[in-house]
Copies of this chain bind each other. A is one copy, B any other.
Amino acid sequence: MNLYAVIMAGGVGSRLWPRSRERSPKQLLNVVGEGTMIQNTIARLQPMVPFENVFIVTNRAQIDALREQVPQIPAQNLIAEPFGRNTAPCIALATVMLGERDPDGVMIVLPADHFIENVRDFQQQLNTACDAAFEMGGLVTMGITPTRPETGYGYLQVGERDGVSDHLAERGVRRVLTFAEKPDLPTAERFLASGDFLWNSGMFIWRVDAIAAALEEFLPELTEQVEELRAAVGTPRFNEALEGVYGQIHPISIDYGVMEKARNALVIRCDFGWSDVGSWDETYRLARKDDDGNSIVGDVVTVDTKGTFIRTAGKIIATVGVDDLIIVDTPDALLVCRRGESQRVQAVVDYLRRKKITSLL
């Protein structure tokens, strides 16, 4: 069984503004712990996936910085989409490229900007997912046992083990009964209480031929469009061909386009301390805190300050009598946000975009 990784690194992580920007997005930053998120994403695949089998799909604004951060990945494995078109086109593109090399290979699709606390457990469960994908030809997703009624994630409901062999069932492999969009809070609370709903992590494992068949069945137009690229793979005219094809493609997510319709979706219940680090609140949750509940990096003077997240950008920050704030300074922009409200940082980014203040995006 040959393993390949396709790492989706095209996002901006705009709710982590002002640190995450189009040219230095979340996956290229050290947000939690050591190393940047993309570096950690690749490191935790070792030694399972050799570097030459790691493909990164990104965009033109990020590709130079990316190349510097992961020099161990061959340059031809870094693919710059001319435009972001959500996850399905990105996966279809990778499927065409890998289908040429190894249709029996197992493809691991990972977002570049997730945090995983327990790498050992992650690797063990990823191994199970690869075995299930290889043996059953199913579309395997890693489902995360929820720890709170989160309304910011999609969910999936664990189904029966029909047709799952004993040795895979024992290792936690099940059919997916249904996928659910981001719920409202009462629904999220019911999901949490039910015990059989898991967070949809956006990490997928499948054989190249299995996802190719699913794309052909559920997204035939997209499949046809990317098929035009097959002859260009590995040739100098690839980028040009990519641009022509991407101009025609409609954006669609793999969840909505394929997973929700597929009859062979499988899930593994995972518990390795996962987070999408999608907001400053989530970053605070993951960060180490002192006795006052503060998470501070940089030169900071605190007077009667509690539950506050502070990241400096060189200058000193003093806080006096404040609780439960998020303070993120950068050389050209500063965010002060109430904890629990950090989803709304998106509104700031939207405003800057409307006002075309591109230097801050």
Q: Which of A37-45, A58-66, A98-106, A346-354 contacts B (4 or more CB under 8 A)?
A: A346-354
Contacts of A327 in B (CB 8 A): 336
Q: Are A347 and B320 in contact (CB under 8 A)?
A: yes
Q: Are B334 and A320 in contact (CB under 8 A)?
A: no
Contacts of A357 in B (CB 8 A): 316
Q: Does A315 contact B (CB under 8 A)?
A: yes
Which residues between 310 and 361 of chain A lie within 8 Å of chain B, taking CB atoms?
315-322, 325, 327, 329, 331-338, 340-342, 344-345, 347-348, 351-352, 357, 360
Q: Does A303 contact B (CB under 8 A)?
A: yes
- Interface residues of A, CB < 8 Å — how many? 35
Among B303, B331, B348, B360, point to the contact of A348 (Cβ < 8 A).
Answer: B303
Contacts of A338 in B (CB 8 A): 320-322
Q: Are B315 and A334 in contact (CB under 8 A)?
A: yes
**A337-B320 contact in complex given A303-B347, A344-B304, C-beta closer than 8 Å:** yes
Pairs across A and B, CB under 8 Å, 28 listed: A17-B318, A301-B352, A303-B347, A303-B348, A304-B341, A315-B331, A315-B334, A316-B357, A316-B360, A317-B334, A317-B335, A317-B336, A318-B334, A318-B336, A318-B337, A320-B341, A320-B342, A320-B344, A320-B345, A320-B348, A321-B337, A321-B338, A321-B340, A321-B341, A321-B344, A322-B337, A325-B325, A327-B336
